[in-house]
Amino acid sequence: MSIPNNLSSILKTIPPGVKLIAVSKTKPESDILQAYQAGQKIFGENKAQELAAKCQSLPKDIEWHMIGHMQSNKVKYIAPFVHMIHSIDSLNLLKEVNKQGIKNNRIINVLLQFHIAEEESKFGFSEEEAKELLSSREFSELKNINVCGIMGMATFTENTNQIQKEFSHLNSIFKKLKSEYFTNHPNFKEISMGMSGDYLIAIKEASTMVRLGSSIFGGR
């Protein structure tokens, strides 16, 4: 299968209202261009410097999403242009994004990442931690960020029942936060969940953004 063929068969399975983020991490620019020429304009990367380098040399109308765990000292590489950072997992990181937003005179879109999987290795807030963050005075002072919703990754397992439960849990966290902290914030509307192996389950559980890499570009 070719990249354009993969893309077009995947797009047939994604309803309108769900955004496809083509995850191009580790893939060469020539692969990204093939997807771009087939009409895909939204790409995701998980390393700040790789993202910045690709942005430099690829077409300017690409919308770049940062989806991977990030150290605060890397935010500066992507702050001038990144469309959205999905992987906010600490107040410190959020403060740095805000600081870089001020420096670049822009408001940076972010999602709060939640730990919904069984594996310890995955990053993200618990519901309690997020509530503490959202109620804090420090958070309320951050004016150069725009919290657009939440993100999470399910456990890597064959057990679709478990995956479905984890996505459903993320959806319930979204609804609670929306009603407790973001009622008057129409921008808070995104649930970024679903990867190549589980995105159809995620869509059934109200995902608004799916992040697909290997099913478009092949294995890494």
Q: Could you identify the residue written with the tokens 């290997």? A: 214
* Nearest-angstrom CA–CA distance, 176 and 188: 12
Closest to ligand PLP by CB, 101 vs 152, is 152
Closest to 190 (Cα-Cα) out of 83, 80, 97, 52: 83
Closest to 130 (Cα-Cα) out of 177, 175, 183, 190: 177
What residue ranges bind ligand PLP (CB under 6 A)? 23, 25, 46, 67-68, 153, 195-197, 211-215
The CB-of-7 to ligand PLP minimum distance in angstroms stands at: 13
Closest to ligand PLP by CB, 130 vs 153, is 153
Q: Which residue is nearest to ligand PLP (CB)?
A: 213
Closest to ligand PLP by CB, 153 vs 173, is 153
CA dihedral 70, 123, 119, 28 (to 10 degrees): -30
* Nearest-angstrom CA–CA distance, 143 and 100: 11
The CB-of-209 to ligand PLP minimum distance in angstroms stands at: 10
The CB-of-105 to ligand PLP minimum distance in angstroms stands at: 28
The CB-of-133 to ligand PLP minimum distance in angstroms stands at: 20
Closest to ligand PLP by CB, 150 vs 195, is 195
For residue 153, report the phi and psi dihedrals to the nearest 5 degrees: -125, 135
